[in-house]
Structure 1
Amino acid sequence: MELDLAKRAIAGDERALVKLLAQHEDTLYRTAYAYLKNEHDAIEAMQELTYRALKKIHTVKEPTYIATWLVRIIINICLDMKKKQEKLVYNHEIELASADHQPFEMADIITSLPTEQQELIYLKYFQDLKNGEIAHLKQIPEGTVKSRLHKTLKRLRVLIAKEEL
């Protein structure tokens, strides 16, 4: 039954995919909850799983591993969410640290960068795009994205240090 549903889902049958998701809902939710440690985030991860599964089901090569594929997706979603949460905590720590000195806004510092560097920062850290995605979007090599980001972050550190004085 599950193998048949998996084959139909891979072939584009959305109802079959929804049934598969329902069959594995408990396992997937428990996995999300174990990673994220709260119900709200786990539910959000499940919603994202549904979206990603619908978008990428056609990439599954072996229908017998559909459950493993779904678990892998939920784990990746949870890891992405944890990274975002860590960034928020880090940004909050920067704000708290700067509150000890003369207050500054990160947005003000970013806007003092050249437009191209601002765009890199926003694509990478506010839109959470990967270097390869940025390279494709800007039609430049990925290595160029990496070196420009490195240069931009170095410049940001200098600007932040000046603001803290």
Structure 2
Amino acid sequence: MKDSVYTQLTEYITGNQNKFYRLAYSYLNNKEAALDAVQNAVCKALENYPSLRNPDYLKTWFYRVLVNECLAYRKKYRRELPLEEEFIKEDFYYQKEFDAGYELYDKVNKLPDKYKTVILLHYYEDMTLKEIADITGINLSTVKTRLYAGIRQLQKSLKGELI
């Protein structure tokens, strides 16, 4: 059974590299740091896959590893990593369709981590609130509260620009 979990994990990782990088980049705002975080998360997942009790939760489990790795990276270096705007369009993960939503995406990235995590996972990674609760290890009602509080902050931020 463990060999099938390993196979599922490797297929999942190789099939979703762009999503993982995009999430890590949204936390770290630096190409190299995001690549390091994803690489570290993949290594940790491959080393610890036997601890995954239920293969049905592979996605949730891996995202938890990745989010924790991004937060640990930021905590370790305790500094703001500059956004490399000149590299965004040169980056091989860049997708042209994100241009229209870049301003909103930028505002989401400026939110406090507790709101940013929930909004990124829900709207950009298409995860359910239950999955987000499992990934972050917080109560489902807290996830809902943070989602709506983050949305309110975004609305205030956007209204400030329109005036």
Structure number with the higher helix fraction is: 1
TM category, shorter: 0.3 to 0.5
TM-score (norm 1): 0.44
Q: Greater Rg, structure 1 or structure 2?
A: 1
